Structure 1
Amino acid sequence: MDTTSFVVLVVATIAAGLLAGLFYAYSCSVMPGLGRGDDRTFVEGMRGINVAIVNGWFLLSFLGAPLLSGVALLLHLGAGPELWWLVAAFACLLAMLVITRVVHIPMNDALDAGGDDYAEVRARFETSWVRWNVLRTVVSVAGFGCLVTALASR
């Protein structure tokens, strides 16, 4: 493995780990914490989070993890056992992007446009968003694990 392919794999792994940790934190602390609040607190809290998370640091890992895992995959074509771990990592991280784009972004947009009937807005949002986030967390953690295994396989 040359230096470039190694560095790309390491940076992809770090980005994927940050992303998996973020979604894990939502699953085990952010959403349960917001869930303890009243409807207005929940809705306004999520609205604030949805605005705050769209920043360069988040986008660097959110887009960087799948992009860099794809680059790492291309750089390792014809390589040893790490190749299949890279295929799996890329597939998992691509699934994370699809889940976010197809499910979470539209739900976040609907939450933002939902008006001030906080009970109704929350009822349409919370359970489904949390369930899909668990899946997004699982595929993100799996993608990270596959990248770690690819590093260990070299």
Structure 2
Amino acid sequence: MNLLRGAALVAATLTTGLIAGLFYSFTVAVMPGLRQAEDRSFVDTMQRINVAIINGWFMLCFVGALLLIALAAALHLRAAGRPALPWIAAALVLYLVMFVITAAVNVPLNNALDAAGKPGAITDLAAVRARFEATWVGWNVVRTLTSTAAFGCLTWALVLFGRSTP
């Protein structure tokens, strides 16, 4: 059972770290770089990113991390002393916050941006960008912080798990 607990915790930590790193990359490199682009380049690039990111590897980590954190928490419910459980639970809450923000804010903004240039859509790219950029970037910072904090909690849970495993 300890092997299964450990494996779930390691997998949850790795997938959460990958997602935190992705959001961090957008926070410190992608969006600051795109800030310098003209409106057409900005909109076109973000539209292409929105298409490219929906792939099996991203979804495996993005959804998989949530499921793996929940699995790790469930497996630690009956563990002796449960020293890692509070940290896993905190990670689950933090990751859920990020997940909800993504679904409620960033994805709808991405969808609105993707509609630009299509028949009946707003063709003023400066207006499209203005409706998207500041809000998306601000909430991405929150996603970066919450997913990174979840990764930190899981990392500490791994330390505690290692200390408590005979």
RMSD of aligned residue pairs (Cα, Å): 0.9
> In the alignment, residue 38 of structure 2 is paired with which amino acid?
D
- State whether structure 2 residue 99 is matched by structure 1 residue 97: yes
CA shift for structure 1 position 49: 0.1
What secondary structure, in the 3-state scheme, does the structure 2 residue paired with 1:81 have? coil
Count of equivalent residues:
154
For 1:114 and 1:95, how far apart are their aligned partners in 2? 28
CA shift for structure 1 position 96: 1.1
- State whether structure 2 residue 119 is matched by structure 1 residue 112: no
Could you tell me which runs of 5 or more consecutive residues in structure 2 were left unpaired when the two chains were aligned.
118-122, 162-166
Report the counterpart of residue 141 of structure 2 in structure 1.
134
Could you tell me which runs of 5 or more consecutive residues in structure 1 were left unpaired when the two chains were aligned.
none
Moved over 3 A (4+): none
TM-score (norm 2): 0.90
For 2:85 and 2:8, how far apart are their aligned partners in 1? 14
Describe how 1:25-104 pairs up with structure 2 within 5 A. Answer: 25-79=25-79, 80-104=82-106
For 1:33 and 1:117, how far apart are their aligned partners in 2? 22
Larger radius of gyration: 2
TM-score (norm 1): 0.97
CA shift for structure 1 position 78: 3.6
Identity value in percent: 54
Report the counterpart of residue 18 of structure 1 in structure 2.
18
For 1:65 and 1:145, how far apart are their aligned partners in 2? 14
For 1:153 and 1:5, how far apart are their aligned partners in 2? 12
